[in-house]
Amino acid sequence: MKQKDKLTKIARILINPDLSEDEKLEQIKAICLIEVKSRLVPVKEFKYRIDQVEDRIKKESGFTVDQINKLTGRECIWRQMAHYMAWKHTNQSLKAIGQYFGKKDHSTVLNSVKVISNYLETDRTFREQYQDFLNN
């Protein structure tokens, strides 16, 4: 319903002599509630807490957070996975994720998110392994 139509409907309710003040108020509340509900953004439900992300990575990789932060080369994928999973599946900010995983800067976490997102978009094998990882 357009804004103008809503206002017209409310005006008609207000001038209706057959309605009591309480009935008018209830009808106007109903119109307003529908309007508010239509503008709400759905709340994202998060699958993990950040410590659970750490546990999942440790279980799969065998590395603790301290060890993950020292990884180089191909093994640094575990740190990037931890950052990505925490970003994707928790309600933590980039800054909070960076602090949790070895006092990293938010831009480091953002880079990890971009790297893993790129792998997920372009590498079918990686995407399948990631899905298996999440489902186990």
- Interval 111-124: pLDDT, tens: 999 999 999 999 99
For the chain, the C-alpha Rg in angstroms (whole number) is 25
**Inter-residue contact 33 to 39 (CB < 8 Å):** no
State residue 4's pLDDT score. 80
CATH 1.10.3720.10 fits 50-135, yes or no: no
Q: Which residue ranges make up each domain of the chain?
A: 3-39, 50-135
pLDDT for residue 107 is more than 80: yes
What mean pLDDT is predicted for residues 8-13?
Answer: 91
State residue 82's pLDDT score. 95
**Inter-residue contact 97 to 87 (CB < 8 Å):** yes
- Interval 55-91: pLDDT, tens: 999 999 999 989 988 888 888 999 999 999 999 999 8
Q: What is the pTM for the complete model shown?
A: 0.66
Burial (CB < 10 A; 0-12, 13-18, 19+), residue 118, is exposed
Residue burial 43-52, b: 16+ Cβ < 10 Å; e: rest: eeeeebebee
Q: What percent of the chain has pLDDT over 70?
A: 96
What mean pLDDT is predicted for residues 103-130?
Answer: 94
**Inter-residue contact 82 to 64 (CB < 8 Å):** no
Q: Cα–Cα distance between 29 and 35 in angstroms, integer?
A: 10
Q: Where are the beta strands (DSSP E) in 1-135?
A: none
H/E stretch holding 25: helix 21-39
- Interval 18-59: pLDDT, tens: 999 999 999 999 988 888 877 776 666 778 899 999 999 999
State residue 121's pLDDT score. 95
Q: Cα–Cα distance between 17 and 20 in angstroms, integer?
A: 8
